[in-house]
């Protein structure tokens, strides 16, 4: 241990923490609502996201089947838009896949998001190891309930 | 963010709570074997999962873990006399064996059989490695003995310590699976700590401070992989093991011993941080063992005669602002263990997770909470045996490895993750 500085009495009161103090020690709310772009990389994944009650009022996108490599997205009403145009209105992308069919598109989505400094989280609900692209922070599980948990954990549910 | 009801569910472990019931499914570390060094030695007060207990070693070398308090008038048996096959209350001489049976009530006629009606709660206490383990759950449903590699290698290959941490167990455990803090909080330690420095892989930590995380289900819990840029076309992977409910194994560095933790609740506002170091294929050197005793690596120094860290909240963890300014210690606190503990204790006795703001690098924490919650609910509602109880789940290794960029670690390291006697660790 190197040279140390002895504590002073000035700080002593701050050490008197208690469990009840924690109920008021952090001013709350302490963050602005994060706007998430919810994106299913395949049909089953899109259905799983759309079934989440916590985001009932938010659009859920899927890759448009006719142009997967151009990162064209469509929402449940059929509105079509390009990821590049949509993404800037969001703070993070939560994408979900249940198979490996769109793994290369995932890499493109990650690159686009990164160019806008937007966080990407990818939940992978299949167990084929495959040579999927090593992009984004990934959760690899068989348990689809992790979608609801992640929505809660990242505070991206409906206001 | 975690909803209040789930935060309460996961942080409360006293008897009768759902999370307490989950912990009581497992063998958990209770004491260092060195705390009961010989037959009829002094007993030790132990508090685990909110229960006040007394550990002792009787005249026959049998270990016991029983209620701390005498059934007569509630006196602490820690004041008792450990003699002739039992612990005797110093107040009126009632005597108990290692199974909590009252074997003598001197004031009553022996033929009355009164003492046969008296029994204290008792839990099994067994020695494995340099630790005494207990199972505080259903006596008719005791799991097989633990097979953690650090506790089963020869004694010269392993070292364990424990320290009192003044916080709930969950925020301590979450620190152990939160690899993203290493590049900041422990950055000084990678250069200076004798049990970390010098590994070839450390350069990747220094060069890439923004690791990307991949969290993968394992049979007992999770693999938490952190990848950093390595040579062209390659990533440097560090994969931590988390096995339910609270075992972690940190990836190795070079040929240093590998280390990890158990976090065991004392009560809801305190926990034991157990730390182990072992090498799977060689004895620890005298120098390495000495470093551990001196509090390097994941270990710590103590207030003499206690398991309270020498650096604690009463002395501001001996914060060194000059070293912080010079960049030697990122937080100004010396030692990997106390760098973690100081910040985790600063969060308060039980952190209010309803107010936190998680990001995608917290996926390991999100997944661990998710798996704990599901296991608690499955146990409570359907009696489902939780992951980590099957001793095959104990036979794990953490891994540090450089892999081609397109190779998933879960596939490339499948064999590296399995603990086998005499198998070298996979490390860089």
Higher pLDDT, A64 or A34: A34
Question: Which B residues 343-382 touch A at CB under 8 Å?
Answer: 348-352, 354-355, 357-363, 366-367, 369-370, 374
pLDDT at A38 exceeding the cut of 60: yes
Say if the Cβ atoms of A19 and B269 lie within 8 Å: yes
Nearest alpha-carbon partner for B336 in B365, B364, B294: B294
pLDDT band at A65 (very low <50, low <70, confident <90, very high): low
pLDDT of residue A87: 93
Question: Which B residues 242-281 touch A at CB under 8 Å?
Answer: 268-269
B8 touches chain A (CB under 8 A): no
Q: Looking at B221-373, which runs of residues are DSSP E strands? A: 221-229, 234-243, 247-249, 258-267, 270-278
The Cα of A145 is separated from the nearest Cα of chain B by a number of Å equal to 9
Q: Which of B3, B217, B348 sits opposite A142 (nearest CB)?
A: B217
pLDDT of residue A8: 57
The mean per-residue pLDDT over the stretch B104-131 comes to: 95
Listed in sequence order, the residues at least 6 apart from B205 whose beta carbon sits closer than 8 Å to its beta carbon are B182, B183, B187, B190, B228
- In this structure, of A121-125, B209-213, B328-332, B361-365, the range with the lowest mean pLDDT score is B209-213
pLDDT band at B279 (very low <50, low <70, confident <90, very high): very high
Dist. CA B275–CA B263, nearest whole Å: 9
The mean per-residue pLDDT over the stretch B282-295 comes to: 98
Say if the Cβ atoms of B318 and A1 lie within 8 Å: yes
Q: Which of A17, A138, A146 sits opposite B214 (nearest CB)?
A: A138
B212 touches chain A (CB under 8 A): yes
Say if the Cβ atoms of B406 and A134 lie within 8 Å: yes
pLDDT band at B386 (very low <50, low <70, confident <90, very high): very high
Say if the Cβ atoms of A4 and B215 lie within 8 Å: no
Testing the interface with A: which of B219, B314, B342, B348 to mutate, by most A Cβ within 10 A? Answer: B348
pLDDT at B152 exceeding the cut of 70: yes
pLDDT of residue A11: 61
Among chain A residues, the shortest Cα distance to B413 is held by A129
Among chain B residues, the shortest Cα distance to A26 is held by B355
pLDDT of residue B252: 96
> What DSSP line would sit under B126-160, residue for residue?
EEETTEEEEE-S-TTSPPPPP--HHHHS-GGGEEE
Say if the Cβ atoms of A154 and B359 lie within 8 Å: yes
- In this structure, of A61-70, A140-149, B145-154, the range with the lowest mean pLDDT score is A61-70
pLDDT of residue A10: 57
pLDDT in tens, B334-360: 999 999 999 999 999 999 999 999 999
Write a three-state SS string for B363-383: HHHHHHHHHHHHHHHHHHHHC
pLDDT in tens, B157-198: 999 999 999 999 999 999 999 988 888 899 888 888 999 999
Q: Looking at chain A, which runs of residues are DSSP E strands? A: 36-40, 60-63, 72-74, 80-82, 92-97, 119-124, 137-140
Q: Is B82 helix (H, G, I), strand (E, B) or coil?
A: strand
The Cα of A62 is separated from the nearest Cα of chain B by a number of Å equal to 21
Say if the Cβ atoms of A143 and B217 lie within 8 Å: yes
Among chain B residues, the shortest Cα distance to A137 is held by B213
The Cα of B368 is separated from the nearest Cα of chain A by a number of Å equal to 11
Dist. CA B174–CA A8, nearest whole Å: 31
Q: How many CB pairs under 8 A join A and B?
A: 131
The mean per-residue pLDDT over the stretch B86-114 comes to: 95
Q: Please give the ipTM for the structure prediction.
A: 0.93
For residue B9, give both structure tokens.
């569910």
The Cα of B98 is separated from the nearest Cα of chain A by a number of Å equal to 36
Determine what percent of chain A is predicted with pLDDT higher than 70. 82
Chain A environment of B351 (Cβ under 8 Å): 22
Among chain A residues, the shortest Cα distance to B221 is held by A141
Chain A environment of B312 (Cβ under 8 Å): none
pLDDT band at A127 (very low <50, low <70, confident <90, very high): low
Testing the interface with B: which of A113, A153, A156 to mutate, by most B Cβ within 10 A? Answer: A153
Say if the Cβ atoms of B1 and A155 lie within 8 Å: yes
pTM of the model: 0.95
The Cα of A119 is separated from the nearest Cα of chain B by a number of Å equal to 7
Determine what percent of chain B is predicted with pLDDT higher than 70. 100
């Amino acid at each position: 241990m190197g040279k140390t500085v002895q504590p002073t009495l000035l700080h002593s009161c701050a050490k008197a923490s208690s469990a009840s103090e924690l109920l008021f020690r952090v001013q709350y709310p302490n963050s602005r609502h994060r706007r998430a772009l919810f994106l299913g990389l395949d049909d089953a994944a899109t259905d799983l996201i759309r079934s989440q009650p916590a985001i009932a009022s938010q659009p859920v996108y899927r890759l448009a089947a006719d142009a997967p490599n151009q990162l064209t997205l469509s929402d449940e009403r059929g509105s079509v838009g390009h990821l590049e145009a949509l993404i800037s209105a969001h703070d993070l992308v939560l994408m979900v896949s249940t198979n490996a069919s769109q793994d290369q598109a995932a890499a493109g989505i990650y690159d686009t998001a990164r160019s806008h400094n937007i966080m990407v989280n990818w939940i992978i609900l299949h167990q084929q190891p495959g040579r999927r692209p090593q992009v984004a922070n990934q959760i690899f599980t068989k348990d689809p309930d992790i979608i609801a948990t992640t929505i809660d954990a990242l505070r991206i549910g409906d206001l | 963010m975690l909803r209040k009801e789930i935060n309460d569910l996961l942080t409360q472990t006293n008897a009768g709570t759902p999370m307490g019931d989950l912990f009581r499914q497992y063998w958990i570390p209770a004491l260092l074997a060195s705390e009961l060094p010989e037959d009829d030695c002094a007993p030790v007060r132990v508090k685990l999962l909110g229960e006040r207990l007394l550990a002792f070693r009787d005249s026959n070398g049998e270990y016991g873990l029983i209620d701390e308090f005498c059934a007569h008038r509630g006196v602490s048996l820690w004041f008792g006399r450990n003699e002739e096959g039992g612990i005797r209350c110093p107040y009126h001489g009632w005597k108990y064996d290692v199974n909590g049976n009252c074997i003598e009530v001197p004031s009553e006629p022996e033929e009355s059989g009164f003492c046969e009606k008296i029994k204290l709660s008792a839990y099994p206490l067994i020695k494995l490695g340099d630790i005494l383990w207990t199972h505080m759950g259903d006596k008719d449903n005791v799991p097989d003995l633990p097979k953690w590699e650090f506790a089963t290698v020869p004694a010269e290959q392993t070292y364990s310590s424990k320290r009192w941490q003044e916080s709930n167990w969950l925020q301590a455990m979450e620190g152990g699976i939160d690899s993203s803090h290493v590049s900041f909080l422990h950055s000084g330690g990678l250069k200076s700590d004798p049990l970390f420095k010098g590994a070839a892989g450390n350069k990747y930590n220094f060069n890439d401070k923004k690791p990307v995380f991949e969290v993968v289900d394992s049979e007992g819990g999770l693999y938490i992989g952190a990848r950093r840029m390595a040579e062209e076309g390659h990533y440097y992977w560090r994969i931590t093991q988390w096995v339910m409910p609270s075992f972690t194994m940190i990836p190795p560095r070079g040929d240093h011993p590998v280390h990890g933790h158990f976090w065991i609740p004392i009560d809801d506002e305190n926990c034991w941080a157990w730390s182990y170091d072992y090498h799977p294929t060689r004895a620890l050197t005298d120098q390495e063992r000495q470093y551990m005793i001196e509090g390097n690596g994941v270990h710590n120094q103590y207030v003499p005669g206690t398991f309270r860290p020498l650096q604690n909240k009463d002395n501001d963890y001996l914060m060194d602002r000059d070293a912080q300014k010079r960049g030697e210690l990122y937080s100004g606190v010396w030692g990997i263990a106390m760098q973690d503990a100081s910040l985790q204790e600063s969060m308060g006795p039980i952190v209010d997770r309803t107010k936190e703001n998680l990001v995608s690098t917290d996926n390991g924490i999100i997944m661990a909470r998710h798996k704990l919650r599901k296991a608690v609910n499955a146990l409570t509602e359907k009696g489902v045996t939780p992951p980590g109880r099957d001793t095959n789940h104990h036979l794990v290794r953490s891994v540090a490895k450089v892999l081609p960029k397109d190779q998933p670690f879960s596939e490339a390291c499948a064999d590296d993750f399995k603990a086998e006697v005499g198998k070298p660790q996979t490390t860089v």
